[in-house]
Amino acid sequence: MFRAMTLSLYLGRHYVTAILTVFVVLAVLAFSFDTIELLRRATNRPDASIELVFEMSLLKLPTLMTKLVPFAVLFGGMLALSRLTRSQELTVSRAAGVSAWQFLFPGLAITFLLGVFMITVYNPLSAAMLTRYESIEAKVLRGRSSSLAVSSGGLWLREADAAGQVVIHALRVAQQGVELHDAILFYFQDNDRFVKRIDAQSALLDDGHWLLRNAVISYPDQPTERHTTLRLPTTLTFDRIQESFASPSTISFWELPAFISTLETAGFSGVRHRLHFYSLLATPILLCGMLLIAASFSLRLTRRGGIGFMLAGGVGAGFLLYFSVEITQPFGLNGTLPVPLAAWAPTAVFVMLGLSLLFHLEDG
């Protein structure tokens, strides 16, 4: 028992070192490429200083690394196993009666715990940083200041331009935000100076204007005005309203279930956020699957040679399998597949493929 524990700790140290090494390399590359892209976008933006661009890159980096962690596990697992192979330690372990499952167990335990850490601790941090990044990007790089928020009290939408801003509140919505019920519009100018308030039974967004029904306009110290129908110009479109939603990556794992419930209660679709939530739940299993795939190719090196060919095959298979996650998600978004199936099916396939290859390698 003591010897088995010693071997597990020794192998676990190799896995951790290799995965961290690859993680750091990928982080440097991701930060460099993202900074270059932001500098390109900020070329004609006077408010975008170099310091602000670097700040934005740092704020976005945790989210980028969330997508790259499976690759860190894949390459790190290959690196660790190839080192152990070159040093003949795996050969000696096999001669001593240690099976592939025994020296893979420390790596699987580490990757599973890493996945749990990613969704419970790392995800809330990256979500908060991405929220700050998107706020800066919308203001500085895209020049948009419209925003939308959904809560149990209804929907809040803000539209701003050089003349002032309009804050819109509605108790409920229909047609994914195109039609608002029990709407209230607050108009402000200059330094948030209140101009007027409009209460309407409904507000329909249609081709560059809001069509209000049964509207009542209230001015400061002036009589109210009533209109059966009223047209008000707007720069909002259906696409801009959808873009104004907080992206799933900006919402903490712990807050997603409540946000999805609020979103659907308000009348919006929560499919995109629900798919993201189930994908997060699958993260620990996905990382284990990536390690199994790495092992199924790396362990063949001790028996069949062709190191370069096998590593290239493992990397290619890892990329192909991981990107299949991105391919299946649209089917979940458009309703072709149930959301849990779209999020979990690729992960299950990865794990089964890795297990089958290892069973074939060990027992075939």
If one counts every other C-beta atom within 10 angstroms of the C-beta of residue 357, the result is 19
Mean pLDDT of 147-158: 69
Q: Which residue has the tokens 């493992």?
A: 314
Q: Which two tokens stand for residue 72?
A: 């860190």
Mean pLDDT of 33-60: 86
Q: Which residue has the tokens 């028996």?
A: 303
> What does the pLDDT read at residue 364?
53
> What does the pLDDT read at residue 270?
79
> What does the pLDDT read at residue 122?
95
Mean pLDDT of 154-183: 75
Do 317 and 145 form a contact (C-beta atoms < 8 A)?
no
> What does the pLDDT read at residue 1?
47
Write the pLDDT tens digit of every residue in 302-325: 444 556 656 676 677 667 766 777
How far is it, in rounded angstroms, from Cα 354 to Cα 289?
6
Write the pLDDT tens digit of every residue in 193-244: 888 898 988 888 887 788 889 889 888 888 888 889 888 888 777 666 665 6
> What does the pLDDT read at residue 225?
86
